[in-house]
Amino acid sequence: MQSLKIRWNYSYTVLLLCWCGWIAIYLCRSVLAPILPVLVGELSLTHAQGGMLETAYLIGYILVKIPAGVIANRIGIKRTLVIGMVGYALSTALNFIAAGFIHLFTLRFLLGLFQGIHLPLANTLLSERFGERQGKAIGFHESGPNVGNSIAYPLTVFIASTSGWRWAFLLLSLPAFALAGATVLILKEEKRPKITGITVNHQRDHPKLRSFLRLLAPLAVAHAIYNLCLRTLLIFSPSFLVEFRGMNLGKAGLIAMLMPAAGFFAKVSSGFIAEKFGRRNSICGATALSGLFILSLTYVSGDYALPINFVLLGLTLYSFSPTIYASVTSGLPTQLKSLGLGTVTMVGNIFGAFSTFFIGYLIDTQGYKTALTVISITVILVTVLNFTAMKVEITGSSSSQ
């Protein structure tokens, strides 16, 4: 009984460390969006170049997904996570001396490369520790980005307004350095089955990832929709509010913060919603509503309507990613969980990498209204197709939990 109590407590310690990891990641990642209007003026960036900075991030984020499992299998999850933390802290801090687009692009790529380590490894740890309760645990874990975003936006605006945008990058990198030290001291290295694709392919007794294609394909498409919406909104929302709505930078940062802030509650409750309505309905319902709320951004206005729109968008947009991750980890055997999750998120992030540049180009050439309309129509049409594709596999997996 005593050993069970100790294990129970440590499981929540692991959850808390992983959750703080997300917060540190988004403190570093979210500095760019609130100060993008400043960089457009000071460094003469276009919106397409602003979108390319997110593309650079996502290229690095994509490239490390599967190698992260290989590295963790060789040196351990703990060491791999710590290397990632130190790496993305340095990649953020070095923006203090950035002199132009090439510097920002390179550092953004490195930021994505080191931050991409976290998701597949942390969610694999949580899946193994929480078992049947992993849906709720992963839902809470996935609220970390929203906390990080919500803190980063006003902090970035405040620091940039008082000390300059370079100090915002430097100061918001410090929590990641602190977390790396805490992880070294607290997290225990656990022996786990090998999780790499190379190992699985050489073990005939183990199933291969392609055996689960019908499960993973619609989840990868759903993650692509998530990336299309989230990546473009996170990078361009403050600029949209300043340039299209005529707000000052401070007010724009506060309103843009409402979306990730509302998303915190969406992610925490996502496990309960999926259990009640089923994973397929939860994912597809949330994507369809997200498309509608994105469309309404260019049509609603006023002191109350626009903030409410951002809140509603946050509640829908952030609600289905934890369900996607839980569907992957619960539907795969232990040795394929990290690889499967890395593959699904890699596909989604590839789509996100191209979409940020494309949407930035549309903003430059056609304006915000056309760009947001294109996002909305794409999301709704793909959701209809994905609902049919998910019919058997996701319904079946949700009923088992």
pLDDT > 80? residue 191:
no
pLDDT at 401 over 80: no
Pull the structure tokens for residue 127. 């899946």
Question: Residue 271 carries which side chain, given as an amino acid letter?
Answer: G
Banded model confidence at residue 173, pLDDT cuts 50, 70, 90: very high
Q: Chain-wide mean pLDDT for the chain?
A: 85
Of the candidates 159, 140, 390, 144, which has an alpha carbon nearest to the alpha carbon of residue 279?
390
- The confidence score (pLDDT) of residue 358 equals 93
Read off the pLDDT of residues 17-45 as tens digits, 9 standing for 90 and up: 999 999 999 999 999 999 988 888 888 88
Q: Are 291 and 383 in contact (CB under 8 A)?
A: yes
Q: Three-state DSSP class for 315? A: helix
Q: Both tokens of residue 285?
A: 């319902």
Find tokens 């991030």 and name the residue. 57
What architecture (CATH level 2) is domain 2-399? Up-down Bundle (1.20)
Where exactly are the structural domains of the chain? 2-399
Burial of 42 (0-12, 13-18, 19+ CB in 10 A): exposed
Query: For residue range 7-20, what is the model confidence (pLDDT) as tens digits?
Result: 456 888 999 999 99
How far apart are alpha carbons 155 and 175 in whole angstroms? 13
- Give the DSSP letter string of 298-314: TT--STTHHHHHHHHHH
- Taking the C-alpha atoms of residue 237 and residue 32, their distance in angstroms, rounded to an integer, is 11
- Residues contacting 153, CB < 8 A, separation 6+: 30, 33, 34, 238, 253, 254, 256, 257, 260
Q: pLDDT tier at 193 (50, 70, 90 boundaries)? A: very low
Q: How confident is the model at residue 392 (pLDDT cuts 50, 70, 90)?
A: low
pLDDT tens digits, 76-98? 889 999 999 999 999 999 999 99
Q: Are 71 and 79 in contact (CB under 8 A)?
A: no
Q: What sign does the dihedral 113-11-340-272 (CA atoms) show?
A: negative
pTM for the structure as a whole? 0.74
Query: pLDDT for 221-269, tens place per residue?
Result: 999 999 999 889 988 999 999 999 999 888 888 899 899 889 888 888 8
- The string of pLDDT tens digits covering residues 308-366 is 999 999 999 988 888 888 888 778 887 787 778 878 888 887 888 889 899 999 999 99
Q: How far is CA 191 from CA 77, 128, 179, 262, 341, in A?
A: 9, 12, 22, 37, 20
> What whole-number distance in Å separates Cα of residue 162 and Cα of residue 190?
45
316-343: burial string, b at 16+ Cβ within 10 Å, e else: bbbbbbbbbbbbbbbbbeebbbbbbbbb
Q: What span, in angstroms and rounded, lies between the C-alpha atoms of 305 and 314?
A: 14
Residue 56 has pLDDT above 90, yes or no: yes
Residue 223 and residue 349: Cα distance in Å, rounded? 8
